[in-house]
Amino acid sequence: MSGSNRFEDILGINFGCVAETKPTVCPMEQGEEPYLDSTTGEYQCPFCLHLVGNQTEDDDDPSVGEDIIDEEEAVSLDLSYTPEMVEKKDATAEDKRIIDRKDAITNVISLLIGIDRPFVEYMSSNQDAILTMLSELEDNDIDGFGLGKDIQPKIIAVASHLFKKLPNSEALRILGIRTNDLLGRKSFLDNTYTTKIDNSVSIAINSIGNNVDLPKTLISQAIEEYEKNLPTNREPKDRVKAAAWLYAYLSKRTDNKPKKGDFTSLPGISRVSFGKAVSAYLSYFEQ
């Protein structure tokens, strides 16, 4: 057997390696599993190595796929049944929330990789930005983005806003998302997140406006007025600034007669801080 062909008995004397031609279709579109980079924990396309997701704890959990001992089996084996037999490694609620959202992004990517590749590639490359904005919206309990809502439509809305384009109609059909519903969420993000505004304050204005049952049109007008000049305020907390701005705006720009107690009764807004912030904004309106 020659040194250049160690498997001559199998491959034949005249065997010659012929490199594979470049595939015309992505291997993952034909069902091939993604490649896992064990160093970074990233799943990549086996052909072009484009990032398509991240490994979660479940992927690396040695207990996955093993038999689970339930209460009945524990009795038959003369074992003391404990909930730890079926519980996974403890994780905080925030950890689970992040994992759930990363898994949802990975699931969307796997569903749409052969349907809307530009949208999928954007999501894959900008997962951190999508997760950061979604967490901010959920934390502020923004209408349409609350924690009780389905994860997938919220992720698609945020990704559409950042990508400045909706997924194609076939992608939306596969995801089961109505175009009008997605457009409503995206329009809110487009109007709220601009390059000019302090995003966190605008979101807090919207959140507090909803908490005190203000009409959505009035909330939008208050945000628009705030964004015109971004008036300064020494109050460090965005939530307090947002409440003070709403109070000052309603007092000076509308016929409404707001009550300070409606705002200071909300969590995280002290009367002293609120009063100082209101004074600063009232001065702005009197200029």
* pLDDT digit string, tens, across residues 100-113: 889 999 999 999 98
pLDDT band of residue 203 (cuts 50, 70, 90) is confident
Please compute, for residue 140, the number of CA atoms within 13 A of its CA located in the half-sphere on the CB side: 23
Angle at which helices 216-229 and 238-253 cross, to 10°: 100
Assess if CATH 3.20.20 describes domain 199-285. Answer: no
Handedness of CA 202, 205, 211, 217 (dihedral sign): negative
Q: Which residue has better confidence, 42 or 233?
A: 233
Token pair listed for 109: 């990517």
Beta bridge partners of 54: 42
Exposure letters 246-258 (e unless 16+ CB within 10 A, then b)? bbbbbeeeeeeeb
pTM score > 0.75 for this model? no
Determine what percent of the chain is predicted with pLDDT higher than 90: 28
Average pLDDT score over the chain: 77
Burial of 3 (0-12, 13-18, 19+ CB in 10 A): exposed
Least confident of 13-17, 126-130, 247-251, 270-274: 13-17
Question: How high is the pLDDT of residue 80?
Answer: 43
Helix (H) or strand (E) holding 32: none
Range in 37-46, 90-99, 216-225, 233-242 the model is least confident about: 37-46
What are the C-alpha distances in Å from 253 to residues 23, 222, 226, 282, 287?
A: 63, 9, 12, 11, 13
Residue 81 has pLDDT above 50, yes or no: no
Partnered with residue 36 across adjacent β-strands are: 43
Considering only CA atoms, which of 152, 154, 127, 124 is closest in space to residue 139? 154
- Cα 168 vs. chain centroid, distance in angstroms? 20
User: 64 pLDDT exceeds 60?
Assistant: no
Cβ burial 276-286 (10 Å sphere, 16+ → b, else e): ebbebbeeeee
| pLDDT at position 85 | 40
